[in-house]
Homo-oligomer: A and B are copies of this chain.
Amino acid sequence: MKITGNAIIAQGGGPTAVINQSLVGAIQEMKKHPEIKKIYGALHGVRGIIEENFLDLRQASNENLEQVANTPCAALLSTRDKPDLEYCAKIFQIFKKHNIRYFYYIGGNDSSDTVRLVNEYAIKEQYEFKAFHIPKTIDNDLVINDHTPGFGSAAKFVAEAFMGANLETKALEGIYLGIVMGRHAGFLTAASALGRKDQTEGPHLIYLPERPFSIDSFLSDVQKVYDQYGRCVIAISEGITDENGMPIVAKLKENVTKDAHGNIELAGGELGDMLTKAIKDQLKIGRVRADTFGYLQRSFPGTVSDTDQKEARLAGQAAVKFSMMEDYQNGSVVIIRTKEYEIEYQLTELQNIAAKTKHMPEEFINQEGNNVTEAFIQYGLPLLGENFKKTTNIEAPLVNISK
């Protein structure tokens, strides 16, 4: 027996460049199924649900939806709210009030937990209900998933940024540090290597949160590369810590500022500025530059992976398709790689995704812990899409001149 009623969809957490592809993929699929009556879009994620702030998505034209799909960031707006039990109970009451029988939530692992909790209320009250989590995160840290929608586009941004930085240090020499997002998982920082042509090209060093960071080894690594190539390009995760889990920026900071709660305040550009200072002071190298990629890397419209777009759209569509099958009541859509390069969408139980973090596997990190392996390149490259092109050096011989 099929459930008939209204549907709601929402977007949560940090945005990505393709989260609207999943939204539009789900909406267009919903329209195909007569069991679904109204299609609501909650504004600002779960907050829009409890505030009953819904858009009537059936009124959006196909033309508008297709343009929205190609726009980065959450078209339904987002939220940082992490619902507790009481919040989820409230969500469920709203669902009952509006005869909402289908719930789709596009988000990271916190969002999957919200779907799980809301769904538990439905089970307890024997309310006929289908609840699905659609994955997204630039951090690529959802377990079970081979990769997550949003990662490929952010990875393309990071890879291209380092292709530019590599060419810059070749043209003008010096040291370049790029600080990349990802507090606990190093995938996005590792993506800095995806545009590298060979080992002489940058990034020459890559530091991930999966390995403890030592400032002494770092400086000695940098000196070694600089001696060899006269330049050095370095990718660093914002989340690097020492062997005790202490953030490196806090260690380097002479006068640590604490906020009202006693937490150490980590301002945007500080890690890069401090490592720059360490290199200048201790290695006596003059031209050292650091960029903190910050928010640029997650909603940048200009450099979206076409593969990521396609996959994100199909992930949204897959969630609705699963919800229409009698075998599935709820779950989280996961992306499984079946061959090089193909994927398929499967469904896993919500609790398998919630509150878990995937890290870079051992085989993706080199032994010294300062670079990625070829296995990572093979893994990551297909995700950047068809339009990703490496840079080219000029191929002409030096003129033989007796000076």
Contact = CB atoms under 8 A, between A and B. Distances in A.
Residue from A80, A392, A394 whose CB has the most chain B CB atoms within 10 Å: A394
A11 B72 CA distance: 36
B295 A75 contact: no
Interface string A126-162: 0000000000000000000000000000001100110
Nearest to A80: B172
A68 B61 CA distance: 43
Contact of A64 (B57, B67, B392): B392
Given A70-B392, A392-B67, A268 B296 contact: no
Interface residues of A, number: 81
Interface in A8-25: 11, 14-15
Nearest to A79: B172
Given A54-B399, A60-B396, A392-B68, A78 B301 contact: no
A165 interface: yes
A364 interface: no
Interface stretch (A103-111, A207-215, A286-294, A351-359): A286-294
A163 interface: yes
Contact of A269 (B78, B161, B167, B267): B267
Interface string A329-347: 0000000000000000000
A73 B202 CA distance: 14
A291 B276 contact: no
A270 to B, nearest CB: 7
A287 to B, nearest CB: 9
A391 interface: yes
A299 interface: yes
24 contacts: A15-B168, A54-B401, A55-B396, A55-B399, A57-B394, A57-B396, A59-B395, A68-B394, A70-B392, A73-B164, A73-B170, A77-B170, A156-B302, A157-B302, A161-B296, A168-B298, A267-B276, A268-B290, A269-B269, A269-B270, A269-B292, A270-B273, A289-B295, A293-B296
9 A-B pairs with the lowest CB-CB distances in the bound complex, closest first: A269-B269, A73-B167, A302-B303, A164-B299, A67-B392, A291-B294, A160-B302, A60-B396, A78-B171
